[in-house]
Amino acid sequence: MEEKAPSTPKADATSVEDGRAASPRYGFASQAKESCSALSRLTLELWRRIRLEVVVEWPLLKQRWRILLFGLIMQYVHGIFTQLAHRMHQPQEEPLHDVGFDLTPELGPEQHWVSETIFGIAFATFVLWTFTPFVTQRKRFYTAVMWSRLLMVLVVCQALRIVTFSVTQLPGPSFHCRASEPTARREWPSHWTGHVFIDVGRQMSKSCGDLIFSSHTTFMLTGILAYNEYGSLAFMKALSWLMGVIISILIVASRKHYTVDVVIAWYTVPLVFYTM
């Protein structure tokens, strides 16, 4: 009879590794280890890019911090005047006649959130995109330079807006600005310091009187024009204009603004953007 050759340690190790590889538990652990390793490499690469971009952006930020600060202060000043416009607001039972109102059904209180939600998502997406130089290899702009320009565009547009809605008060077309609604009027403060404090929540959801021209459309068009100048994807550029048209229609349908408010913004903002 033939005797079997004794197994060697190398052969035993090979058989054990084969057995482990065939084991589902071992395969899962191996995949998890590879995934963690890939995630670690990606995190380190992302951190490296962020650090390099900070080194590049920091000198630009130091050159433009006054512009950025002035633009942020203007947002506060704009809030003071929109609050003042609400106090000067003279509500009516029905809004003025508007062709846009004739062509679009009113969304009403139940669907009032639709335009705000779409606008909020679009605005948040744009803000995130402006910081893509920190995480991507391809770079078409510097974040500090872009925001200094965009804030100056907003400053000029908001200054024009303050003048227009302050000299002419239109009755608010929204459901909460009708004469029968308590939110249509806002009491005057007993002291001038009352004008300094802004009720941000009320101004964002229940403001009246600051109509000409549309602030939502101003922010939206500033973002669209910025992406069309600095962005790289043709599809996204076309989509941004389509979203701009849809949001403009929803603004009118929700009765946040008269059609004239949106139309004026559509030709004012591009004029200011390409002048700055």
Instruction: List C-alpha distances in Å: 27 to 14, 57, 81, 156.
Output: 16, 45, 65, 61
Q: Is 216 a catalytic residue?
A: yes
Tokens of 203: 């101004």
Which residue among 78, 86, 112, 257 is the active-site one? Answer: 257
Cα 96 versus chain centre, distance? 31
Per-residue pLDDT at 205: 73
257 catalytically annotated: yes
Average pLDDT over residues 23-46: 71
What does 184-248 look like in DSSP terms, one character per residue? G--PPPSSGGGGTS--HHHHHHS--S--SS-HHHHHHHHHHHHHHHH---HHHHHHHHHHHHHHH
How confident is the model over 170-196, as a mean pLDDT? Answer: 86
- Tens digits of per-residue pLDDT, 205-236? 778 889 999 999 999 999 999 999 998 889 99
Regarding pTM above 0.85, the answer is no
| Dihedral (CA of 190, 172, 168, 213) sign | positive
Cis peptide leading into residue 213 (ω within 30°): yes
pLDDT single digits (tens) 248-275: 999 999 999 999 999 999 999 999 999 8
Position 2 pLDDT exceeds 50: no
Average pLDDT over residues 172-192: 87
Query: Higher confidence at residue 191 or residue 141?
Result: 141
Element (H, E) at 122: helix 113-129
pLDDT bucket at 193, cuts 50 / 70 / 90: confident
pLDDT given at position 16: 46
78 is catalytic: no
pLDDT score for 27: 62
Is the pLDDT score of 92 beyond 50? yes
Using alpha carbons, select from 262, 261, 258 the residue that is nearest to residue 247: 262
pLDDT at 50 over 80: yes
Percent with pLDDT over 70 in the chain: 88
What pLDDT is recorded for position 53? 87
Which pLDDT band holds residue 1 (cuts at 50, 70, 90)?
A: very low
**pLDDT tens-place string over residues 145-181:** 999 999 999 999 999 999 999 998 899 999 989 988 8
Mean pLDDT of 33-45: 76
For residue 186, what pLDDT band results from cuts at 50, 70 and 90? confident
Q: Is pLDDT at 26 greater than 70 in this prediction?
A: no
